[in-house]
Structure 1
Amino acid sequence: MPAFRQVGEKQLPNPVLCMAWSPKRDLIALANTAGELLLHRLASFQRVWSLPPTDRTGKEITALAWRPDGKTLAFSLGDTKQVVLCGVEKAEILHVFPVQSPVTCMHWMEVVEESSSLNSFYSSEDESKLFLPKIPTLPKSMFIPLCHSEEKSDEILNLLGDARLNVLVLGGDSGFVELYAYGMYKIAAVDGVRTVDPVYLFRRAE
């Protein structure tokens, strides 16, 4: 087995807590001790954008995961017990949801197995507009998760329509594992797991 060879070194103003490499592009996401989420070019290490911490989302990032297509980044916050989905192009928060305990590891996987049930799922037509009334716009001064605001609804629908079925897997030291379809809809949860080893979680998810 060939030995690892260092090809570069970069200095940063704050220690890095976790990082994740984009599965599709030359990008690396970093979370530091100041609560910032940073996106850099991997080769030149040029900063693409930075997302500062806020009181609404949180300041203690504990884990990162890329959606398999590289268009969305998920990160968890230990101080507020939340998971945030962020659009990569504009550093825009698309969705925020709470979790019962701080997340210490996460992995975002794509369902690649073809089956008749999956094919019918992908080809099925969304008929909700035929039967359900349009959701009214809420006052912008009201604090609500961004995914429920009308101005974000089209963006979320496009997010779902462009992506194959994928699952965001979350795990924590408290012994829970949760699965979210498209990173937003909880489809399974397990409690009472003694330990959640990130390596084991990733292998089982794949």
Structure 2
Amino acid sequence: MEEQAAEERVVKVIRENPKATRKQRDRAARAFELPTDPVVSQQSQHQEPLNCEQTLPSVPDHSPKMPRGLVLLMVAAAAASAQAADSPCYSVMFNARDAVYAKGVPACLPQYTADIAKYNANPNCATFAKSPDMDTCDSIVANFSKCLVKAVNLLKADNTFDDAAFKATTLQNKCSADAKFISVYPTCKNSTMKYLNLIRLINCIHNNLYGYVISRQNMDG
């Protein structure tokens, strides 16, 4: 409860101060920290690291509180909007993520609550894990991830990810000409699609296009 309250305060600070400086946002973000995805390409020291943070829905406890994953997504989204102007690709990434949660989670969560509970109970998979083991963690929820991809019509007959449909339908071809998207997409896809983790794929792309990656690196700066 304390962590959730801290997250909500960060969201409120960022939303109420869209023109806040990076240092001011850093101070607000120090209430918590996110891990950095270890499966990334080597980048310039002046670039933020790829962050493909997994944000699975919590197993419902029937109380009227917002899942932590959605709160964290709101924090990243609010901070990102304070740093970058809207673009067609930026906007469609939000829509894609919302569509996955709206259509995929209700269809798949009831079937795989045990897997998600196991994922959330693993200290190496927790949202605040110091060294997340994404390969192990993704394998725990592989069936849930596959169900999610199928629910949003991105699973081919051979049980592989429909890359073309994702770009043409989910992203409505609004990112195909975006230089940043073209640059980050292969690495994000390779680091997330072994177990069809669509949520992490979208987060990875979004964070590296426009996202404000909340990590120990930019909190200590």
Find the structure with the greater CA-based Rg.
1
Same fold (TM over 0.5): no
What range is the shorter-chain TM-score in? under 0.3
Q: 1 or 2, which has the higher helix percentage?
A: 2
- By percentage of residues, which structure has more strand? 1
TM-score in terms of structure 2 length: 0.26
Greater relative contact order (Cα < 8 A, sep 6+): 2
